[in-house]
Structure 1
Amino acid sequence: MKKLFMVLALASVSVAGMAQNETPEMKYSVATNSFWSNWFISADVMYGAFYSNEEKGNDFKKSPFTDYRRNLGASVAVGKWFTPGLGLRTKFQGIWGRHVLTDNADDNAIKFWNLQEQVLFNLSNLFCGYNENRVWNLIPYVGVGVLRNCSDNEYAHGGSIGLLNTWKLSKHVALNLDLGFNVSDDDYANASAGHAGYGHSIAQTDRYFAAEVGLTFNLGKATWNKTPDVDALKALSQSQIDALNAQLADAQAENDRLQNMINNHKCPEAQTVTVKEVTAAPVSVFFNINKSKIASRKDLQNVQELANVAKEKNAKLVVTGYADSKTGSAAYNQKLSQKRAETVANELVKMGVSRDNIEVVAAGGVQTLSPISYNRRATVAIK
């Protein structure tokens, strides 16, 4: 039995390590919730098929449906998800069980309970990314605990492995199907009655399979919050700086042009020149990775100014969409850059710019700005 516990411990450590490695590759990252978030309770009806150490040497049928093996029971569990892919639950299982001494169902009936601490691994979230709208989740688990044969007043150490399937019915309720395999020391089935001489290998343990159907109830907050896209926030700040720098450069160029006109003007009469500052430099609108929805509506403030100038002068605007070349294929980035450009063009139309005065260009995946996330953008410029 010690060997079995070592195997279960190693399995839990290895899979937990896998969960840590897979989490950064999810569709999006999630923020850590408070201690009181993501708790759940479940209640199931159990069908159990028992295989006792005492039947060794007897040619009993192995079918889990024979009446001297099977029995009904129930289970309840309470647990918490610490990440979308890793959780713990405490599970109490039992009521009616078997120790298979004979092929007579009445001889084998006992009352028992099994208390386990189990580690849950949500493979759907670990490998496919967290999605709060996902209906089906595949959740293997491993656990250790203690069993008691109440009829014979025997205790034993136990271990379990299993596969939990859940189907979302609502935000707080899920249907679950739990298939588990449990092993214990041969003490569980009163080994002292003539089988104490067996060793504690897996072949000499008491075992039972359990199929459970029931409901899981999520308590309190049952979802996970997205973490902010840091790259996008940096890009938004950089876009504001780029816009200011562009305005300064444009104003300086206009001042130089006016100064040159004054220096070369031959008319002796003094003239007063009124200059209206025009922002002609491209304005950037940024997007999150793999998205064609504008990351921040604040970017449209600069676009509005450019749209006003274009309407006043009946000028044409060029909207150029970009994607970063580090993610996605060239064909996919071409389509994504087109969508981003179309999104900004639609915003310009809402601002009153004629669609005939808007030219849309898809530049595909590029790496002109650093960091690479700054390339997830669309620019607007007066043609």
Structure 2
Amino acid sequence: MSAVPHLFQPVTFRSVTARNRITVSPMCQYSAEDGLGNDWHIQNLGAKAAGGAGIVFTEATHVSAIGRITPGCLGLWNDAQEAFLARLAALISRLGAVPGIQIAHAGRKASVTPPWEGNKPIPHAAGGWTPLAPSAIPFGEGYTIPEALRPGQIAEIVGQFAATARLARRAGFKIAEIHAAHGYLLHSFLSPLANHRDDSYGGDLAGRSRALMEVIDAVRGEWPAELPLFVRLSCTDWVEGGFTLEEAVMLAKRLKARGDVDLIDCSSGGASPAQRIPSLHPGYQVPFAERIRHEAGIATGAVGLIRDPFHAEEILGNGRADLVFLARALLADPAWPQRAARSLGLTPELPPQYQRAHLA
């Protein structure tokens, strides 16, 4: 190809430029201890940075102990966690990628076992805790009934998001993403399936999005104006009566108008076990990114079983999204970006230690 493929064109958000548009999506590893990461996290994300991705996100990094999904989830609320994540951010940067951190609170989906143990609720007697949510509605049958948050508790959690953003800035991360998807706390405020409040945090979309807006304000208070801020949304709940794509577009327009959010990471689902996705196929969520990009005029990230380099190139080349977020493809092959470069007619850039791989 005579021109550089869109997938490998640099992209800039505020003062931050990534070498390409391949983004390592946040992927929970359930391997931390008391929120503190270890060598697993270093090798996992280090390999993906060395593999050539442009932006490398941490897994969901939680703002408090009771905000974790599982006891093995990563957190950032103390100095030891900050020191570890500073090491991780420095490694990602040294390998040529932009370090990003996803800031999260699990809400009513907290206090469960990891996927390989069934995502089962953990009873208090076994070390579990009571989840927090906008309303006292459990995620599904057999799940712990969450505590409905009082306004003062919401304010406390907003402050925890801000504190985590402050620690993330000090640790050297260059992009922050607020997790408001997949049924976790901020998504559960957005979704009518989980939010039955009759105060200013419930009701219409303005009320249901109030918690998210307060978190954005608080995070921006700690996150420098020259650094980009992303928001991950579930653009539909895939359940009748849940959060809809039309509401996601309305919310994205509001975020665009505010001017403090730079990109919407467009995912879906996670609010209810009753969700029904009509067809799971490569790119099944790309239309969400495309519609929000064109109707709200804000940059978007496309996700959802994107595995083929030519498919990723089509998404970007046709203006359907600004970034592609990859998960399973990069779990299977951290060097996917290098292989994609070859497929698209480029000579991949490799760390000098890996130069002999050009012959592979």
**What is the TM-score with the length of structure 1 in the denominator?**
0.22
Q: Which structure dedicates a bigger proportion of its chain to helix? A: 2
Q: Which structure dedicates a bigger proportion of its chain to strand? A: 1
Where relative contact order (Cα < 8 A, 6+ residues apart) is larger, the structure is: 2
Structure with higher Rg: it is: 1
